[in-house]
Amino acid sequence: MSAPYDLRIAAGGDQFPVSEERPPLSWQLPPAWSGQDGYDLQFRVDGEERALAGVASAWHLFVAWPLPPLRSRQSVEWRVRIRRGEQYSDWSSWHAFESGLLNRDWSARWISPQEDGEDARPAYVLAGSVDLRDAIAQARLYATALGVYEAFVNGTRVGTAELTPGSTSYGDTLHAQAADVTELLRGGANDLEILLSDGWYRGSVGTWRKRDCWGTATAARLQLHVRYADGTETVAVTGESWTSRRSHIVAADLMNGQTTDFTAPPGPARPVLVDAVDAPPISWSPAPPVRRVEQLAPRSVTRHGDDTWIVDFGQNASGWITLTDLGPAGTRTVIDHGEHLDPAGDLTTAHLDSQKPGEAAIPFVQRDEVVSSGRAGEVFEPRHTVHGLRYARVRRAGGDLDPYGIVLRVVHTDLRPTATFACSDDDLNRLHEAARWSFRGNAVDIPTDCPTRERLGWTGDYQIFAPTAARLFDVDGFSRKWLRSVRDDQLADGRVVNSSPDANRLKIHDDPMADAITGSAGWGDAIVLVPWVLYETYGDTAALAENWPAMRRWVEWALTTARDSRHPSRAERSAEPLPHEEFIWDGSFHWGEWLEPKRRAADGTLIDPVMSDPIAWYTADKGEVGTAYLYRSARTLAAVADVLGHAGDAARYRETADRVRQAWQTEFLDADGRTKAGTQASYVRALAFDLVPGELREKAARHLVDLIDAADGYLGTGFLSTADLLPVLADSGHADVAYSVLCRRTSPSWLGMLDRGATTIWEDWDGVSEDGAATASLNHYSKGAVVRFLHTHTLGLRQAADSAGWESFVVAPAFTKAITWAEGTFDSPQGRIAVAWRVEDGHLTISVDVPGGSEAEIRFTDGSTFHTGPGRFSRRRPL
């Protein structure tokens, strides 16, 4: 008899899972089981056996921790068996994890290096030691920092995580890391070191390269617990006995780059500063760590003039370049990183420069430098910076460059891939890979807009892409970690800031310009919509519960703003607000349908609607967008309240959502199903958000198709609605139009990006012009959300309405004659789903693997449907 499998806790960790006090438990049902009626649990907590028997529950995802809260550093093993009626499964295998060193039990002091105030800030070595006895049974090292750190024991680097402790809103949240260092210790003297640099905490942040956003002094904290075979323990901690010195890393900035001089003598050892910083309580991240995920060898290395080479890795990615050929002693190698070459074949980053009106441009630079000592085996690996790049320009005076000594380490959060996709159209397969790479490059501990110019956790970007990310990767812990920063940064009035962690620190700093553009529909709504994606995809009720107060505060602020503020155009229409205007959200700032395809001037140049007339853009009425999102978030909030058992809130927000919907229809929709804005985006949003009454949906969809026809078959959508364009078309009976738009090859289009060399998704539809000039970022994932359509419609696999955690799903491909087969998998919380279909000899064959805990409905084009539980399904039907 089979057993539950894939036991896991909602926690992160490097070498082993590390939890907080009450980790939720999850497991997958045996392959042949359609469900469970209950379960038994067995635990070993620090070797002490405990059991929980006869629990009556059908739920096996994010089960609340059933024992007393864990204490610091406890070792836990657990297993489960399930019951269906009178039948019991076998016991699962044991799953092991540990609780972290909880905040109250840290005795280590915060230590900071003594600094000389250099503008090019070096990385510092903080050093201590501990004397140990022989017969070491187990050792755990716990560490964190205000900055980026690496820990070393007796000269060996600890763990596999990179860029620790990660990016958080450091005023409120700081994560620590745990490592098993048993094999690195010995009886006698042991050296402990921390290599510390600015990182996100104190280094350059965002478009304008602001520094010292979270503090002016870096610091670290380390605590080593050693247990001997006789059960006694030794604890070593950072404190006054530690020293600091300058390292070979003479400059380190997470954005700008790292300079390592292997010829530089180590700085003098000085006493550390103790407890010179204010730090938040230490907690433990639910996300997997950032790691070196893979490595890429150069596709080409081309000499470009004297002493200069251009290296092409063939893929836009995030990471750093490792060099093993550093040349003779004193050789300086300079590496500039970017994502585009100019027509002459040289690296260019001009498209990533930033400029404020009336001010000089800030040149975009990602530059690493290394000076060789000439020692054998010397390797340059800049782990205190990270770059977005496809190309590198390497300069080395008077020497050669060994192409076999160059490697790109791809560095990002080590997310577990959960989906595969392939079809008969290789262009779509390439598009799928480009979107995957684009998200990977922007998943460096937080979901960023781009890995180059800004690297900010823009809420709007992730609100758009989260449903796609949740298909491609397991992003539950990754998203929950970021959402904590969104909550940390939320303003007192309920507004959600544009990007989190918020380097502007609007919650405590007065910044009128940033404040004026904070609180936008489609951006702030991430606090509602992303947790809902986590619940729908993973069954993660904990994500709903921990974000519930912040969700309410955001929606209540939006409702209050809708009631109390009016756009001037409506004030001109009537001095007193019309009754429905109480629910029109138009009187505050909205980014709106950002980055629609640009119009061209008579000379063919692109017209930027923002820069060409900033005042007109800023003051334009974006109430259609704001009110649509207000409806969607209020409706979602009602659904969240239902799940959490808040019946009163559910009824109130459901009624509020209905009134917002009616107001939107009154203000923005006519009796013929036409939107007042009359744009493709407005129709897509109206249909995707269910704002259009049932009797007008067909007309509204027809108006959308007419707009596409009038644009010669091209899309006209921007930031907020592009992800929904193709699903809306297909679901309204226009799959042929959806595929026609998808397969366009000139701008604006996805395949047009690929034809111009894109390996990731561009920020602008016209990211690279016909003459090869680049504009804006060439690695922005938001428009890559189109690949979800490949899974939900081309492959045809989507979760059933009202299902959570993939307990029920539908397979219903949306066909086009140009595609003759598709296949793919999805590792759902219930187990792996596999779908394959093929058209051959006028017949359609669909095959589906249904995991335990799921049921499926398969729909054929001839109208026949089949329902099936766990197991293998295959049918062949005429088209």
By annotation, the residues acting in catalysis are 454, 763
Answer yes or no: are the C-beta atoms of 751 and 744 closer than 8 Å: yes
Of residues 375, 308, 314, the one with CA closest to residue 336: 308
Q: Which residues of 587-611 are buried (b: 16+ CB within 10 A; e: fewer)?
A: bbbbbbbbbbbbeeeeeeebeebee
Distance CA 331, CA 261 (A): 10
Q: What is the DSSP letter of 109?
A: P
Of residues 531, 460, 549, the one with CA closest to residue 499: 460
Residues near 76 by beta carbon (within 8 Å), at least 6 away in sequence: 19, 43, 44, 45, 70, 96, 97, 98, 99
Q: How many residues does the chain have?
A: 879
Please compute, for residue 664, the number of CA atoms within 13 A of its CA located in the half-sphere on the CB side.
31
Answer yes or no: are the C-beta atoms of 276 and 219 closer than 8 Å: yes
Compute the C-alpha angle 775/780/784, nearest 5°: 120
Helices (H) and strands (E) in the chain, counts: 18, 42
Pair type for strands 270-271 and 243-246: antiparallel
Give the number of other Cβ atoms within 10 Å of residue 583's Cβ.
Answer: 24
Residues near 775 by beta carbon (within 8 Å), at least 6 away in sequence: 351, 606, 764, 766, 767, 768, 769
DSSP string, 670-714: -TTS-BSS-SHHHHHHHHHTT-S-GGGHHHHHHHHHHHHHHTTT-
CA 566, 571, 573, 578: dihedral to nearest 10 degrees? 60
Q: Which residue has the tokens 């006028």?
A: 842
3-state secondary structure of 1: coil
CA 431, 713, 609, 342: dihedral to nearest 10 degrees? 40
Give the number of other Cβ atoms within 10 Å of residue 671's Cβ.
Answer: 7
Distance CA 694, CA 271 (A): 73
The distance from CA 129 to its chain's CA centroid, rounded to whole angstroms, is 38
Element (H, E) at 575: none
**Partners of 831 in beta bridges:** 828
Answer yes or no: are the C-beta atoms of 484 and 174 closer than 8 Å: no
Distance CA 787, CA 794 (A): 10
Q: Is 268 exposed, middle or buried (0-12, 13-18, 19+ CB in 10 A)?
A: exposed
Give me the helix-helix angle, 623-644 and 680-688, nearest 10°: 20
The distance from CA 295 to its chain's CA centroid, rounded to whole angstroms, is 21
DSSP string, 148-215: EEEEEETTEEPSS-BSBT----TTT-EE-EEEE-GGG--SEEEEEEEEEE-HHHHS-BTTTTB--SS-
Pair of tokens at residue 653: 């927000």
Give the number of other Cβ atoms within 10 Å of residue 738's Cβ.
Answer: 24
47: left (phi over 0), alpha (psi -120 to 50) or beta: left
